[in-house]
Structure 1
Amino acid sequence: MSELYSVRMRAAQGGPHEKGGHHISGAERIVKLEEVGAIAQSLAERALHHSKGTADFINITVDLIPQEKISYIDCLRVEEHKTGSIPESHQLATELLQGTTITETAVRKAIGMLKNLDRSMRGAMLVDAISGERLDEGNRGVRVSHMDSFDSHALGDNEHMREALVLASKVQSAEGVVGELCWSDDPDYTVGYVACNGVYHRIPHMKELGSNIGGRVFFVRSDIDSESVIEYLESAPILVQRR
């Protein structure tokens, strides 16, 4: 098999993220050497033609991934849900997540934290699954990276869903992570999801149409070393496969 490369893009408006730039887009792929150029170009085009605006800062990073460091994991199962309003969707998310490992208190606190964001975070909040207390700090959050799927055709033709499903599958494979809550910062996309117990639950009406505020919450067990979870999510190369 030919060598594989991680191609990652992040884009902002008003300068780099680190200097206060407004996040526009982020995406990544793991591809063969001969695909690097085309994929880098497609990610740059995506940053320049986004519903959140035109980026004036685009960073594209390409790294070789040693074959022995890549892990293969199974994709989560997908369940589609229908709801009629945001309150109904948030209630369904709460019911799907809460159980023996995640409390209702933790889920409701997490929903509140996402609803109260004044701007989208670049990464996800790490939250104690019992108390609902946030374990990471600042506005950066945990940036899940180094992941893709070679079975893209089997994950559906919706780009939002494909990328979210790959990310959610990696997150749920991390030791100590017991659930995830997410809705997009894309103003045209109101579908969100929760992931737990091996299932990706796709839920409509998770936010208002036109809102550019979104985010993710990862629920983790109280006894887990959060630093090891973050290291895995941000750095471990993962390829997601459909059974």
Structure 2
Amino acid sequence: MMGLYSIRMRGAEGGPHEEGGRHISGAERIVEEHDLESVAASLIHRALQHSKGKSDFINIRIDAVHDEDIAYVDCIAIDEHQTESVKESHELAKELLQSVVTNKAVEQAFTELGQLPGNMRGAILLDANTGVRLDQDNMRGVRVSHMDACGTEIRPMNVHMREALVLATKVQSCPGIVGELCWSDDPDYTVGYVACNGVYHRIPNMKDMGNPIGGRVFFVDINRPIHEIVDYLENITVLVRW
């Protein structure tokens, strides 16, 4: 593949994130040069028309991607679940995670997400055994970046699911991470997921409709240096093969 570019958008209300602006939207793609303008326009539209509000700060960054720097990863499997309530969904998520994470760490993850005062830009890192938080920035966390899918999708899916599946696949491919818990900060989207053992478990009703707070937790095997995990998640370019 030739002529690829990483294009990343982040939008905030009330100024840049670094100056206290409220995070509205973030997205990224890895596309060929001839698609840059149309993709940039769609990302700007997303920042201006998001259900969480209208961004008054929008940052677009475009970087060339070199073939030799790309890691290709096969998409993880998909398992869709049906539940009737937030309580049932959370119980299911905990059950799934306890195959790879201690009960203490799982409970701490739900506590951390339940106590968020606002939306983080990235993910919380938790020790998969002790539940101790490992990242240093309480409201930034670790922001997974430089990723997209390549090839034809295996099934029709909405933008939320596509982006979540790509991100979950990159995270699952990172040595040292054994699981992930996530639900969206979009107030109109209540679906969340658990990723572990090479499977993306899509779970409805992970929060109440209208709730604008979401977040994600990565469970880490502490035997691997944290700086290596963070570098992979934030800087290594990954293309997911359907």
Instruction: Indicate yes or no: 2:102 matched with 1:91.
Output: no
Matched-pair contact (CA < 8 Å) for 2:2–2:67: no
Counterpart residue number, 2:126: 127
Letter in 1 for 2:25: S
Q: Deviations over 1:116-174 (max 9, x none)?
A: 11101000001000011100122110000000002353253211000000000000000
Letter in 1 for 2:176: G
Residue 181 of structure 2: SS of its match in structure 1? strand
Counterpart residue number, 1:115: 114
Change (3 A) 1:143 1:132: same
Superposition RMSD on alpha carbons, in Å?
0.9
TM normalised by structure 2 equals 0.98
Output the CA distance in 1 between the equivalents of 2:105 and 2:191: 21
Output the CA distance in 2 between the equivalents of 1:215 and 1:225: 23
Residue 145 of structure 1: SS of its match in structure 2? coil
Output the CA distance in 2 between the equivalents of 1:223 and 1:150: 32
Counterpart residue number, 1:10: 10
Matched-pair contact (CA < 8 Å) for 1:156–1:162: no
Counterpart residue number, 2:82: 82
Output the CA distance in 2 between the equivalents of 1:7 and 1:239: 14
Letter in 1 for 2:180: E
Structure 2: segments with no counterpart, 5+ residues: none
Output the CA distance in 1 between the equivalents of 2:162 and 2:45: 19
Output the CA distance in 2 between the equivalents of 1:110 and 1:155: 31
Q: Percent identity?
A: 59
Residue 73 of structure 2: SS of its match in structure 1? strand
Instruction: Indicate yes or no: 2:102 matched with 1:103.
Output: yes
Counterpart residue number, 1:240: 240
Matched-pair contact (CA < 8 Å) for 2:16–2:57: yes
Counterpart residue number, 2:166: 166
